[in-house]
A and B are shown apart, each in its own frame.
Chain A
């Protein structure tokens, strides 16, 4: 627990002093949202709910791909990853700390994206946005877990930055489908019950990848 807090505090301090990861995430997310608006040309009105939900999730996964893995990738400099591996820190706790830091960066970025989404798609600040929050939170934690796990690979192999999306996107499909469906239902004014099955899939995905990262992270950190 102490190790978890120490690593998380270090990452947050680094981010508060430099702030490049979150800023890049926010900027990239908004940029992708703008591209989606041009590409899909929303007409304005209730029919836009699925389009807005789709745009939101595209922005999230593509920005996340570039930004969420930063917490692990930053450790490559000066052999910090090796130092972390050599420290008595529990590998599972290290994974959870990196996951927590990535999640916090993504929460900030998502808040900005949802704000821009409301402006671009002419939505209202009402209960419908609040209903979207569980799906967004679950999707974000799942993606952060996946990205943290894969970053330990992509950061240390040849052409790893190419590999990251090749591995991450197919694995993220269940959470993506469920997230888009749940968000579209929420924005379309559906009740909680309409989202239940999708939220359950996202919970299953999150449990799976957080557990997988917790158990398997150790095997990814070693060197030969």
Chain B
């Protein structure tokens, strides 16, 4: 049952990803001002969406872990933090590739770039905590608190960095309240790419989540075994 579902999801992800690649390179018209480079947008935006969604789930599962308990929430949060980190890295890389020809620099301290970098550092710290501190219910609680506090900090980061400086193009929502995608084919390509990356996120998440669940169950079994051995030793 679970296997059939995973296979179907994998096939769906593959199909959508193939469609997204085809549409990005062959279907969508080239943007008039920026030229061919603009096509990276159709991968850049979905990566950002997945990263933010994943970091959001980290905070939510942290709340549920502290509230209800249960190793399952901790495993979910950890899996999402790792995947979010991968996609956040991809956002920074694709952004840099685009910025070099368009802005003339690899990196600039624009507000969205800066915010994304701070997020990357923030969740990098979260993953370092988990990697260095190991597995225990105590570390799980620490991670839950960090996940919650980090997410609560994000709006303050966004506002402060935006006041600090901004030059990032507002493609999806411009100041006039319209989006900057002039051709309906651009919208279609973006939507397919978003669907493809969302499916990819779900697939990766389920795989990682399942492996973390297995590890947690194994750890629980080991604890039980140790207790049983200790009890047998007492006799």
Contact = CB atoms under 8 A, between A and B. Distances in A.
Interface of A: 149, 153, 156-160, 162-163, 166-167, 169-171, 173-175, 177-178, 181, 197-198, 201, 204-205, 208-209, 212, 216, 219-220, 222-224
Interface of B: 66, 118, 121-122, 124-126, 128-129, 132-134, 136-139, 141-142, 144-146, 148-150, 152-153, 156-157, 159-161, 163-164
Nearest to A224: B137
A220 B160 contact: no
Contacts, number: 97
B141 A220 contact: yes
Highest count of chain A CB atoms <10 Å: which of B133, B137, B142, B161: B142
B124 A201 contact: no
Contacts of A149: 145, 149
SS class, residues of chain A in contact with chain B: helix
A178 B164 CA distance: 8
A155 to B, nearest CB: 11
Given A177-B164, A181-B164, A212-B148, A163 B156 contact: no
Contacts of A181: 164
B129 A153 contact: yes
Nearest to A204: B156
A170 B141 contact: no
Nearest to B139: A157
Nearest to A152: B142
Contacts of A174: 153, 156-157, 159-161
Given A204-B156, A216-B148, A157 B118 contact: no
Contacts of A171: 122, 149-150, 153
A160 B111 CA distance: 31
